[in-house]
Copies of this chain bind each other. A is one copy, B any other.
Amino acid sequence: MSLPDQAEGTTRRPSRQRSAVLALLDGLDGFRSAQDLHALLRQRGDSVGLATVYRALQALVDDGQVDVLRGDDGEASYRRCSTGHHHHLVCRSCGRTVEVADPPVERWAARVAAEHGFADVQHQLEVFGICSDCAARG
């Protein structure tokens, strides 16, 4: 039972590694695990330590520039996202993701929580499916 912290405009010293991670994420269209990202960076020639990849991702998440998602196996996946509040429609097979918004659910969550006396409310909503490409591919 842990909760997301408030994003703070953390001042960070720029570094080649941090940029590499962000650049890599910019070129990808789905959620990827830290391990995957690390492997991709190595293939690409940008050698970055695994621990640094984790640190960079954590920092980006804290800054709200990257979204993180926990798969059913507990592994965290990361994706470059728009900064506003939104949810995801994720392909279970290839990880391709579409950002979606749903104002009604925001209100619903707030109302339900209030009805039961819960405060400081947050919610998480993700939709999983098989995208048309993967469905066609078999």
Contact = CB atoms under 8 A, between A and B. Distances in A.
Contacts of A118: 89, 91, 127, 129-132
A102 interface: yes
A76 interface: yes
Contacts of A93: 1
A31 B125 contact: no
A35 to B, nearest CB: 13
A89 B116 contact: yes
A135 B135 CA distance: 47
In this complex, the member of A95, A108, A125, A128 whose beta carbon has the largest number of chain B beta carbons within 10 angstroms is: A128
B2 A71 contact: yes
A23 interface: no
A100 interface: yes
Contacts of A51: none
A92 interface: yes
Contacts of A117: 131-132, 135
Contacts of A26: none
